[in-house]
Chain A
């Protein structure tokens, strides 16, 4: 159990376009989802925390108007990178924490590789 999926796994887009990444918890309800960004050979950096039905909480330095997060249901959160630029190219990973589980345990998706040309 505790499977988290992401779609797409890879996306290449032109500079200035917007890209939406979906994160789904497949076999549990996720009250909280987290979005991380990972640059090559670096650690995971938390971007924002998303609670179902409420606004996301963004980490310092992360532009909320550029990285739009929606957590409309207990199984789906989306991250939209608006007006993407080459410096937004990165590996985006979501994680989810579910109801009825240890309130610390988190399960990660497989990640989405974004390349902005």
Chain B
């Protein structure tokens, strides 16, 4: 089955800096890679996703890149703000109809 590794586990940046979180996956058949933001005591919220036929996707300050050959994908947050502080999870899905497999999460702290 699919296995997703996520790094780093914690990340501290100054407001305005960029933050990058990286994930690798094991199943070459995986074709969908979402990123979720989870605030304390709340459910995960989808912030951006990418499919295997696309190499990069951007939405305002957030971007995701995918390298299918290397089987890794990354989340890039630019101009970070204190409200970006949260736990971020990457995930992968290898077959339609199956569940997402999550990375272990990255706690992002943005200090002002």
Distance between Cα atoms of A43 and B6 in the complex (Å):
11
Binds A, one of B40-48, B55-63, B69-77, B78-86: B40-48
Which residue, of B43, B93, B104, B105, has the highest number of chain A Cβ atoms within 10 A? Answer: B43
Classify chain B's interface size. 20 to 34
Residue B53 interfacial (CB < 8 Å): no
A60 → B minimal CB distance (Å): 10
B102-A44 in contact (CB<8A):
yes
Distance between Cα atoms of A58 and B92 in the complex (Å):
19
A36 → B minimal CB distance (Å): 8
A43-B102 in contact (CB<8A):
yes
Residue A93 interfacial (CB < 8 Å): yes
A43-B99 in contact (CB<8A):
no
Residue B98 interfacial (CB < 8 Å): yes
B99-A46 in contact (CB<8A):
yes
Interfacial chain A residues near B96, Cβ < 8 Å: 103-104
Question: Closest residue to A94 on the B side, CB-wise?
Answer: B43
Residue B101 interfacial (CB < 8 Å): yes
Question: Closest residue to B107 on the A side, CB-wise?
Answer: A41
B49-A105 in contact (CB<8A):
yes
Distance between Cα atoms of A34 and B43 in the complex (Å):
13
Interfacial chain A residues near B101, Cβ < 8 Å: 46
Interfacial chain A residues near B104, Cβ < 8 Å: 42-43
A111-B32 in contact (CB<8A):
no
Interfacial chain B residues near A105, Cβ < 8 Å: 32, 34, 46, 49
The 4 A-B residue pairs with the shortest CB-CB distance in the complex, in nearest-first order: A104-B32, A108-B43, A103-B96, A110-B43
Chain B interfacial positions (CB closer than 8 Å to A): 31-32, 34, 36, 41-46, 49, 51, 89, 93, 96-105
Q: Give 22 pairs: A residue, B residue, CB < 8 Å, sorted on A.
A: A34-B100, A43-B104, A44-B89, A44-B102, A46-B101, A91-B41, A93-B44, A95-B100, A103-B96, A104-B32, A104-B49, A104-B93, A104-B96, A105-B46, A106-B34, A106-B46, A106-B100, A107-B46, A108-B36, A108-B44, A109-B43, A110-B43
